[in-house]
Amino acid sequence: MSEYQNFQEEEINLREEIQKYLKYWPWILASVITALIIATVFLKLSSPVYRSSATIIIKDEDTKSPGSGMSSFADLGFIDGLQTSSIENEIGLLESKRMMTKTIKSLDLNIRYYAKSLFVTREIYNNVPFKISILQLNASKLSQFAGDGLNSFTVSFENDYVVLSNMETGEKIKSKFGDPLNIDFADIVVRKNENFDIVEEDEAEYSFNISPLSSVVSYYNARLEVSLVNDNSTLIELSLQDEIPGKSEDVLDQLISEYNKEAIIDKNLVATNTAEFIDERLKIINFELDSVEIDKEVFKENRELTDIRAESEIFLQNASEYKKKRQEVITQVQLASAMLDYLREGSNSDLLPANLGLEGEGVNQQVSEYNQLVLERNRILEASTTKNPVIVRLDQQIDQMRSVVKKSLQRLKSNLDITMNELGNEAKLIQSRISEVPSMERQYRGIDRQQQIKEALYLFLLQKREENSLSLAVTAPKAKIVDNAYTSGQIAPKPRMILLGGLIFGLLVPFIIIYGKNLLNNKVKSRDDLEKRAKQIAIAGEIPRIDKKDSHLITEADRSVLAESFRIAITNMQYLLINKTDKQKGIKMLVTSTVKGEGKTFTSINLALTLANMGKKVIVVGADLRNPQLQRYDVGSRKQLGVSDYLINEDLKLEELIEQTKYNNNLDFLTSGSIPPNPSELLRHRRLGEMLSMLEETYDYIILDTAPCMLVADTFLISQYADLTLYVVRSSYTEKQLIQFPLDSIKSGKLHDVSFVLNDVDSANFGYYGNKYGYSYGYSEDEGFINKIKKYFN
């Protein structure tokens, strides 16, 4: 059950909070309508902004590839570690002011053209009847003229002449198309645009202005966005926001073109420097190669060489042959020596060895003849003796032949010794040549190595020169265009967002104002403010705010809101006087407030009139002796005696001081009378109690219009006689912190039986139940259109 009650309380509180704002619905509606009108006008007057974009792929620069302008240096090892082709660097280059400056210069975007028709001036890009070309520009003067607004000109045509009028000074300059003319900060030429569509822009007034290049570059640089489409690729998207789609598309395309041009120029510059370097190196290498080849030629000539490897093989072969021949000669010498030894030791009957391998044909024949003689002697000797003349003759022949063979062998040996010496000398020569071969080969290999190195480097540089020539002849762009610049659509202003923003703004502004007003407000506004600060004090009634043109007093059979509010208040008072049921008449109601001006007298009189209209006998007593206000409602009473006179003068009779009012026969006034110097002492007089007792016998209700209790103590002196204290609080007048004063007064016993009457309540805050929950009842013959609308929304 408690949760249900909490939910109901929260719901009621929410409704109350909403009600605080809904009561100002006309202002909220007016604010929303105004904001929507402003948003609509803004959409009509603002220039739409479009977003153009283009996509490119940055080619990876491979320094080792033959097509790269850096490949020659890369193969030579000169730029290892120096090549940085990071994609972030390329994005930075595309976003640089230098690239944008080249783009703006190429498109002449610092010259802007305008067309004015039907009081609307708009920028145009291509479809303009003339074109401006800048021959010479003084940048410092242009900045000064632009700051003074002297850089804009209107253009008109007179036959073959063009007339420029300065939009600020009105100064005119006349010139023929194509002739140079001076406009103080620049020399320009005005030419006709052959592609101008005269039908589209007919009847328009044309103008142009020239802006400083730096400002235009900054403008487009701020609106340019360059970003990677994917972190793992070299795909880059360029986007630009501008009021003219064609211009932004041209800027993006030209920016890509300028980027490629610069890349090609850089590549060609590298290739040109590479070509110069290669040509210089070729001259040096060619000279060094010639020198090495001459050294090689001299080396061969001095050593009578053709081919070291082949000649060394010949030397080895000759050395082997000479060694073999020498061995053979040694064998022959040994054979000859053996034959000589055999001849010296042998007799005539001994045969000489034959066919031993001696190479001398004469010796072999002599040995053969000798052996034949020995054989014949030995054969004859077998049949005869040594004395035989034949034997003697044969011995002589054998001796002679032996001597001949011996001499022949000695000669053969001498010849063989000579041959062996010659062979030894030749062998030594060949051996020396063979021993020289490693040294010659080493020297030759060094020369040959130098020749090969120079020749390889020479051929390499020739190849690189051809590759470099190809790279100069074929220059591919660095940025490959994936999508040319295109406009995706309008990005600002967005009508839905602007209108929605206007609606929100129109709703938000009054809510903020109302909230701020409530937050800063320190005055009591409504019943809620009283209930929050003084829950223990009942609220007897709420009195609405009355227009000056309306009557401030209630009449008989009055059906106004004022009259009904007092009727409700009297009804509530009956419940508050439940403990006073023993009193049939003479009920005393004390009306007071915290400070002056809160409507005590107004409340007292209307309360009395309402009771009088109900047939009750009522008297209003002016108990404010210091600042009486009751006389304002009856001019005649201002000159009469009253309460103060009665309290001072015991001879005065009370019935003589009471005056019947003109408003109602049941209503009488007892004014405060003369203003005394000592009001507090008078109110302590015993005659005050006697006076009230006498009035109780005559009247049903006695209403005491007293002084503000916070300013003087007079009211506290009278409160002891009151059956009910009506504490008047004026809406939008009484400060909230002053509500603490009646609470303190009740706590201290100065006031008792206190009830609030909230006076001068605004119509938006009036009627706790009626307005809060949307119920109303007609109190006038014609509600009017505004009242009907309010009733409908309530």
- Read off the pLDDT of residues 33-64 as tens digits, 9 standing for 90 and up: 999 999 998 888 788 889 999 999 988 655 44
> At which residue do the structure tokens 């020396």 appear?
432
CA distance readout (Å), 419 to 81, 263, 314, 320, 328: 74, 85, 22, 16, 11
- List, for residues 57-97, the tens digit of each pLDDT value: 988 655 444 444 445 445 554 444 334 458 888 999 999 99
Separation between Cα atoms, residue 763 and residue 23, nearest integer Å:
9
3-state secondary structure of 732: coil
Average pLDDT of the segment spanning 284-311 = 71
- The per-residue DSSP string of 670-706 comes to E---S--S-HHHHHTSHHHHHHHHHHHHH-SEEEEE-
Label residue 271 by pLDDT band (50, 70, 90): confident
| Residue 484: other Cβ atoms inside 10 A | 12
> At which residue do the structure tokens 């042998």 appear?
346
The predicted structure's pLDDT at residue 23: 76
282 or 671, higher pLDDT? 671
Label residue 232 by pLDDT band (50, 70, 90): confident
The predicted structure's pLDDT at residue 300: 66
- List, for residues 178-217, the tens digit of each pLDDT value: 889 999 899 999 998 887 876 444 567 899 999 999 999 9
Mean pLDDT of the chain: 81
Highest mean pLDDT among 81-90, 98-107, 231-240: 98-107
Separation between Cα atoms, residue 62 and residue 618, nearest integer Å:
112
The alpha carbon torsion through 555, 561, 563, 567 (nearest 10 deg) reads: 160
Indicate if the alpha-carbon torsion angle 626, 630, 633, 639 is positive or negative: negative
Question: Which residues, at least 6 apart from 312, have a Cβ–Cβ distance to it below 8 Å?
Answer: 434, 437, 441
Question: Which residues, at least 6 apart from 163, have a Cβ–Cβ distance to it below 8 Å?
Answer: 155, 156, 157, 172, 173, 174
Residue among 416, 420, 418 at smallest CA distance from 428: 420
16 or 554, higher pLDDT? 554
The predicted structure's pLDDT at residue 409: 76
**Percent of the chain topping pLDDT 90:** 31
pLDDT surpassing 90 at residue 104:
yes
The predicted structure's pLDDT at residue 650: 87
Label residue 378 by pLDDT band (50, 70, 90): confident
pLDDT surpassing 70 at residue 28:
yes
Long-range contacts of 345-349 (CB under 8 A, 24+ apart): 348/374, 348/377, 348/395, 348/398, 348/399, 348/402, 349/374, 349/377, 349/378, 349/381
> Do 103 and 258 touch, CB atoms closer than 8 A?
yes
φ and ψ at 779, to 5 degrees? -115, 0
Average pLDDT of the segment spanning 567-588 = 83
Label residue 7 by pLDDT band (50, 70, 90): very low
Label residue 219 by pLDDT band (50, 70, 90): very high
DSSP H helical ranges for 158-230: 213-223
The predicted structure's pLDDT at residue 768: 45
Write the single-letter amino acid at 123.
E
Residue among 273, 217, 268, 230 at smallest CA distance from 478: 268
The predicted structure's pLDDT at residue 415: 79
Residue among 740, 510, 404 at smallest CA distance from 26: 510
Query: CA-based angle 17:22:25, to the nearest 5?
Result: 155
- The per-residue DSSP string of 226-295 comes to EEES-TTS-EEEEEEEES-HHHHHHHHHHHHHHHHHHHHHHHHHHHHHHHHHHHHHHHHHHHHHHHHHHH
Q: Containing H/E element for 745?
A: helix 740-748
Question: Which residues, at least 6 apart from 42, have a Cβ–Cβ distance to it below 8 Å?
Answer: 493, 498
121 or 386, higher pLDDT? 121
CA distance readout (Å), 236 to 87, 89, 264: 9, 12, 19
The predicted structure's pLDDT at residue 386: 73
The predicted structure's pLDDT at residue 419: 78
pLDDT surpassing 80 at residue 399:
no
The predicted structure's pLDDT at residue 493: 85
Cis check: omega of the bond before 493, within 30 degrees of 0:
yes
> Do 314 and 321 touch, CB atoms closer than 8 A?
no
Separation between Cα atoms, residue 257 and residue 54, nearest integer Å:
12
- List, for residues 434-478, the tens digit of each pLDDT value: 655 666 666 666 677 777 787 888 788 888 888 877 776 666 788
Of 356-370, 495-509, 622-636, least confident by mean pLDDT is 356-370
The predicted structure's pLDDT at residue 666: 92
Highest mean pLDDT among 79-83, 203-207, 526-530, 563-567: 563-567
Distance of CA 397 to the CA centre of its chain: 136
The predicted structure's pLDDT at residue 307: 59
Highest mean pLDDT among 73-87, 374-388, 413-427, 523-537: 523-537
Residue among 709, 711, 717 at smallest CA distance from 692: 717
Label residue 4 by pLDDT band (50, 70, 90): very low
Burial of 270 from C-beta contacts in 10 A (0-12 / 13-18 / 19+): buried
The predicted structure's pLDDT at residue 201: 44
The predicted structure's pLDDT at residue 602: 92
547 or 611, higher pLDDT? 611
Separation between Cα atoms, residue 167 and residue 114, nearest integer Å:
12
> Do 228 and 235 touch, CB atoms closer than 8 A?
yes
The predicted structure's pLDDT at residue 783: 47
Whether the full predicted model's pTM is greater than 0.75, yes or no, is no
Label residue 491 by pLDDT band (50, 70, 90): confident
The predicted structure's pLDDT at residue 398: 75
Of 355-364, 452-461, 579-588, 610-619, least confident by mean pLDDT is 355-364
Average pLDDT of the segment spanning 581-610 = 88
CA distance readout (Å), 48 to 241, 636, 657, 751: 10, 76, 84, 71
